[in-house]
Amino acid sequence: MKLLMIGNCQAMGMVKLIKAMCVDISIDYLQLLPSTYESMKSGLTDFNSFNWGDHDINTLMSECDLIFIQSGEKIFKFFQQRFPDTSHKIRFFPNIIFNAFHPDMLYITDKGKQLPSPTGCYHSSIACFGWLNDFTVEETLSLFCEDVFKALGFFDYWQVSVNYLVKQGEASNLPLDKMIESWSKRDIWMHTINHPKVFVLADVARALLGREKIPFVPNIEENLGDTLANGPCWKAYPEIASRFGFEGQYQFKNRGRITSKNVGELLFGLEDFVRASFELFATYSKEGFNCPRLVSKKYDEMSEFLKNQPLQKGMPLSITAINKLSQSDIDSSHPYKGLHDYQFWRRAIERVPLYEVDPVMKPRFKLDRESKVATAGSCFAQHISRALGKNGFNYYVSEKDTSLLSEEYNERNYGVFSARFGNIYTTSQLLQLFDRVYGNFDPIEKYWLRSDGKLVDPFRPQIEPDGFLNIAELEKSRIEHFAAVRKMFENLDVLVFTLGLTETWRHKVDGAVYPLAPGVVAGKMKPTIYEFVNFGISQVVNDMQVFINKLVRVNPQAKIILTVSPVPLIATYENRHVLVSNTYSKSVLRVAAEVIIKRNTCCDYFPSYEIITGNYTKGEYFEDDLRSIKKEGVDHVMRLFLKHYTNQQESTFDEDLINENLQVSQVFCDEDVLDRK
């Protein structure tokens, strides 16, 4: 059997173990460097002639029986798509990242490049905090104590680290949960946050071989060296290690094999490590640093903690150090001094990984699990309803039919929105829906005829896939629908409305606005009856304001969250390029939303549009059609919605750590710093 393993330095260690475990297997290893992946991902690479070092990748992959891909599910899927002829051979195996033993350890970048440290590329967040706040080395050393560790949440990393790794195990069909339990009884089982010890890799290798039903020799690692021990290693700090029943030590090892001659060059104590870190930091500008954790909530609160609570252990901070922490409160030489990091592009966008960008500040209200949350608007609103239901919140559906099987229930558009009104693209359409259900507007047109002779409701033309057989059937459905919409308006706690379009078609006589142009799925386009309109800001704002006024009359406690759909126009009727029309439409809707929330305290704006379309994403959240939103983009939006609008406060810190693990997973290997240009 011939195997190929593609991944980081962990994969290299796995190759060594598998070769020893399975003497009859041939196995090759390809290191996945950032430059290689970026070249492949860019689409500029000709995969028919692409060579990976000395290897013709197509030939190598075609000759192998199995191909193991590491470094994350995203890269795994990328290889499956890029090499469709061999996708059936590709298998996923996990990237072991575990930061509970080394919660102070992180990577820092400067202008997009990894910043070297005294131990390769691993840095201490506390040392960096001290340097950025102009502490001396001695003052920074005083921060390495239990009080500070507790304030920074270092003792809370265990469960989220376990959860993250268990999910990696589930994705690769390996029992990592049981392995973690076994490893934790044995030792501190990581050299660094992403360098496991040899017995960890050996267990993963055995599980991987067992999964593929490949026989192996057991316990072979006892006769092998620990390859990753030759790289950087940090001992777990004593205060951290004691929590797990082990002894810790402040010792930091640089990469390389330790001998009697070089031990002094490769091993650092805490003071030497911090001093050497400061010397390296001093060669860089503070403005260029990108260390997302240092702008997180716990580190934001650190200055206040140190000013108000004397440390029980370590050297107490001097008056000078306290004054340095307070300096930002005093220095107000210009109006931008002392503003929050989120108010600066460099700190809030340039230095923050894509999946950590968070433009949501202070929501005006929160949802609890009992809050009745209704959704309406464009297609993108459906993502919020799914996320709420999936996470145990009360997605309020007032129009149901319990007699239908689940497949038919979905096909007939039950539960897609809170009622079966289909897409509501404009504020005029929303206002007219309210007036229709309360008997204040009765449109002239009651139905449209389809090409197959079936009838459709002009205001929800795709709600019944099979259409209506006759007017009586359509009217019965409409009456039931109106009752359900009234119930929704009168009982909801929050309405999430996604603004979708400014372009629409309306009846020239009574002004009825339709979700689709006549003739698209039913009816006929007649210029004498229908007209095209493209709403401006004043029309959008006025219609929305009238709707809000009417809603609070029937439901005084109702609140509204406005969003703008990030999905571009699929077509424009204006005689101009669709890109220009899209910019106009989204601009009008975004400005209108801003006007509305400033006028109405019961309204808030959630920036789903900015999260998906912001240039910081470099288009990563769009599919190849540049319209459809990828799962990663939807997940980013929904994660922030739940984080800020629900009361799941206990998950905020966990989410920060998960995001940090995702960031670390993109670091292919510590030695990758050699690949920088």
Among the listed residues 235, 234, 256, the one whose alpha carbon sits nearest the alpha carbon of residue 246: 235
Q: Are 421 and 484 a contacting pair, CB within 8 Å?
A: no
Q: Is residue 666 part of a domain?
A: no
* Same domain (yes/no): 327, 439: no
CB atoms within 10 A of CB 179: 21
The tally of CA atoms less than 13 A away on the side-chain side of residue 558 is 22
* Same domain (yes/no): 433, 301: no
The radius of gyration of the chain's CA atoms, rounded to the nearest angstrom, is 30
Give DSSP secondary structure letters for 411-458.
HTTSSSSSSS-----SHHHHHHHHHHHTTS---S---EE-TTS-EE-T
* Same domain (yes/no): 317, 454: no
Q: Are 155 and 162 a contacting pair, CB within 8 Å?
A: no
Q: Are 150 and 311 a contacting pair, CB within 8 Å?
A: no
Q: Please state the φ and ψ torsions of residue 629, each to the nearest 5 degrees.
A: -90, 130
Give the contacts of 21 (CB within 8 A, at least 6 positions apart).
205, 206, 209, 216, 217, 218, 220
* Same domain (yes/no): 422, 503: yes
- Give pLDDT tens digits for 613-660: 999 999 999 998 999 888 889 889 988 998 888 865 444 455 566 666
Q: Are 3 and 90 a contacting pair, CB within 8 Å?
A: no
Nearest 10 degrees: CA dihedral of 653, 123, 240, 224?
120
* Domain closes at, from 93, 123, 158: 93
- Give pLDDT tens digits for 413-433: 788 888 999 889 999 999 999
* Same domain (yes/no): 380, 342: no
Q: Are 29 and 53 a contacting pair, CB within 8 Å?
A: no
Give DSSP secondary structure letters for 613-652.
H-GGGTTTTB-TTSSSBPHHHHHHHHHHHHHHHBS-THHH
Q: Is residue 676 part of a domain?
A: no
Dihedral class, residue 256 (left if φ above 0, else alpha if ψ from -120 to 50, else beta): left
CB atoms within 10 A of CB 152: 23
Give the contacts of 375 (CB within 8 A, at least 6 positions apart).
381, 382, 384, 385, 395, 417, 418, 495, 496, 497, 498
* Same domain (yes/no): 39, 75: yes
pLDDT along the chain (677 residues), means of 10: 88 90 87 65 49 65 88 70 83 90 89 81 92 88 90 88 88 90 92 94 94 90 85 93 90 78 77 93 78 76 72 50 50 65 85 87 86 88 77 86 76 85 94 96 95 93 90 95 96 94 96 94 93 96 96 95 94 96 97 95 95 93 90 89 73 57 53 36
Separation CA 471–CA 453 (nearest Å): 12
DSSP reduced 3-state for 11: helix
**What confidence score (pLDDT) does residue 50 get?**
44
Q: Is residue 170 part of a domain?
A: yes
Distances in Å between the alpha carbon of 398 and those of 157, 372, 414, 461, 498?
A: 42, 10, 10, 20, 19
**What confidence score (pLDDT) does residue 261 get?**
67
CB atoms within 10 A of CB 125: 20
Amino acid letter, 45: T
* Domain closes at, from 66, 93, 120: 93
User: Any idea what the CATH number is for the domain that residue 57 is in?
Assistant: 3.40.50
Among the listed residues 228, 226, 230, 204, the one whose alpha carbon sits nearest the alpha carbon of residue 68: 204
* Same domain (yes/no): 256, 305: yes
Q: Is residue 672 part of a domain?
A: no
Alpha helices in 282-401 (DSSP H): 297-300, 302-308, 319-330, 345, 381-390
Among the listed residues 492, 433, 493, 483, the one whose alpha carbon sits nearest the alpha carbon of residue 458: 433
Q: Are 129 and 306 a contacting pair, CB within 8 Å?
A: no
Among the listed residues 630, 161, 638, the one whose alpha carbon sits nearest the alpha carbon of residue 391: 638
Residue 547 is encoded by which pair of tokens?
A: 């709707």
Q: Is residue 167 part of a domain?
A: yes
Give DSSP secondary structure letters for 542-572.
HHHHHHHHHHHHH-TT-EEEEEE--SPPS--
The tally of CA atoms less than 13 A away on the side-chain side of residue 579 is 1
531-549: burial string, b at 16+ Cβ within 10 Å, e else: eebbbebebbbebbbbbbe
**Total domains, the chain:** 3
Give DSSP secondary structure letters for 460-524.
STTSSTT-BSSHHHHHHHHHHHHHHHHHHHHH-SEEEEEE--SEEEEETTT--EESS-TTSSSS-
Separation CA 616–CA 613 (nearest Å): 8
Where are any strands of DSSP class E within 209-308? 233-234, 252-253, 267-268, 289-290
**What confidence score (pLDDT) does residue 331 get?**
47
In this structure, what DSSP letter does residue 66 have? Answer: E
Q: Are 16 and 27 a contacting pair, CB within 8 Å?
A: no
In this structure, what DSSP letter does residue 312 have? Answer: S
Among the listed residues 491, 591, 498, the one whose alpha carbon sits nearest the alpha carbon of residue 540: 591
* Same domain (yes/no): 289, 153: yes
The domain of 452 spans 373-540+554-573+586-606
Residue 395 is encoded by which pair of tokens?
A: 């997605």
* Same domain (yes/no): 271, 314: yes
Separation CA 540–CA 564 (nearest Å): 13
Q: Are 613 and 380 a contacting pair, CB within 8 Å?
A: no
Q: Is residue 485 part of a domain?
A: yes
Q: Are 370 and 637 a contacting pair, CB within 8 Å?
A: no
* Domain closes at, from 302, 329, 359: 359
Separation CA 375–CA 390 (nearest Å): 15
Residue 433 is encoded by which pair of tokens?
A: 């829906």
Separation CA 80–CA 69 (nearest Å): 10
Q: Are 307 and 329 a contacting pair, CB within 8 Å?
A: no
What would you measure as the largest C-alpha separation in the chain, in angstroms? 94
Amino acid letter, 23: V
* Same domain (yes/no): 378, 353: no
CB atoms within 10 A of CB 427: 29
Amino acid letter, 581: S
Residue 302 is encoded by which pair of tokens?
A: 């650190």
Q: Is residue 21 part of a domain?
A: yes
* Same domain (yes/no): 216, 306: yes
CB atoms within 10 A of CB 285: 9
Q: Is residue 309 part of a domain?
A: yes
* Same domain (yes/no): 192, 324: yes
